[in-house]
A and B are shown apart, each in its own frame.
Chain A
Amino acid sequence: MSQVAEQTNNPASQEIIHESTLYAEPIGHIGGFSITNSFATSLVAFVIITILSLLIYRKIKRIPTGIQNAFEMIIEGFLDLFDSVTGSRKISLKFAPLVLTFFFFILINNWMGLLPGVGSIGQVVSSGGEKFFIPYLRGATADLNTTLALATIGVVISHILGVMSVGAWNYLNKFINFKALLEIPKKVFKDPTILIINPIKIFVGFIEIISELAKVASLSFRLFGNVFAGEVLLASMSALLAFGLPIPFLFLEVLVGLIQALIFAMLILTYLTINTTAEEH
């Protein structure tokens, strides 16, 4: 996959290494903060989303036409999809802004990696005696930092909203079941087996805490792996035969970008729904 630089004494005949690295390469610095190409791409996506939403916002009419029509159709479709997870249109409407933000941000970042200028326009930097090619723009979700940040934000928000909607005491009881502890003295005379069962019930929620970390890891790695593997696949196919062969893979990448954004959004919605519903017995 990587073109090995030839070890010659003449630096002019060294080959430039065009390998996609797992980490994003810095293209500039502000003070001590290094700006990487993924960060630049996510800023561009942010600008695109802001401009698009402002344009549509200015022109909202009672009877929709043109772009507003298209977006209303899209959002209607999404709300139906969300209803299948949350079960009620009211709850879907409450969570829709957050979940759709995740969806559109991830979608645009995924697709930016496929655009013609991204990943191919850059500079050659020599470090350690070898020359590397560093593109100015690169898909933001192909960087583990972005996906980890998105996953952490999603999971932390689901916890915060859970506490806000169910109350701190109820929410804590989902993990460490204090209610079971307090029930023992009340019911021990009616039902003696409770003396044995409830102490176990207290610890059942502990594993949930570990599964929260697993959620963050799985969300971030799923998105990162899909987009990064797509990038490497496209690079390999282009290296094999640059005319015609990458076309089906580009279609695949478009589809994968869409599906992964959808899955991320749906999972965040699922976690939000589970955390904000009171526990039923």
Chain B
Amino acid sequence: MLAKAIAIGVGAFGPGIGIGLIGAKAMEAIGRNPEAAGKILVPMLLIAAFAEAIAIYALVIAFSIK
């Protein structure tokens, strides 16, 4: 039980920071150039999904631990 909790808890740490950084840089870019918001949105979502995938790996491991 504890192993499951630790697996997902520690595993979500990195991606959380990663997605926060992606969002921060995207916000900065939009602040500099509000017209480019549409162009920045799609790559941002794409990269956020990549970062989230790492957390999903940890979640799958948490599910498979008995």
Contacts and interface: CB of A to CB of B under 8 A. Distances in A.
A224 B49 contact: no
A222 interface: yes
B33 interface: no
Nearest to B49: A263
Interface stretch (A57-65, A173-181, A225-233): A225-233
Contacts, number: 34
A218 B46 contact: no
B56 interface: yes
Contacts of B53: 218, 221-222, 225-226
A229 B12 CA distance: 14
B46 A228 contact: no
B45 interface: yes
Contacts of A263: 46, 49-50
Nearest to B58: A225
Interface residues of B, number: 13
Most A-side CB within 10 Å, residue of B46, B49, B50, B52: B49
Contacts of B59: 225, 229
Contacts of A218: 53
A221 B45 CA distance: 18
Interface residues of A, number: 16
Contacts of B57: 221-222, 225
A218 B52 CA distance: 12
Contact of B60 (A81, A224, A266): A224
A70 interface: no
A12 interface: no
Contacts of A260: 49
B42 interface: yes
22 contacts: A22-B63, A81-B42, A218-B53, A221-B57, A221-B60, A222-B49, A222-B53, A222-B56, A222-B57, A225-B53, A225-B56, A225-B59, A225-B60, A226-B52, A228-B60, A229-B56, A232-B63, A259-B45, A262-B46, A263-B46, A263-B49, A263-B50
For the complex of A and B, the 6 pairs showing the least CB-CB separation, nearest first, are A225-B56, A222-B53, A225-B60, A263-B49, A229-B59, A259-B49
Given A221-B53, A221-B56, A225-B59, 18 more contacts: A22-B63, A22-B64, A81-B42, A221-B57, A221-B60, A222-B57, A224-B60, A225-B53, A226-B52, A226-B53, A226-B56, A232-B63, A259-B49, A260-B49, A262-B46, A263-B46, A263-B49, A266-B46
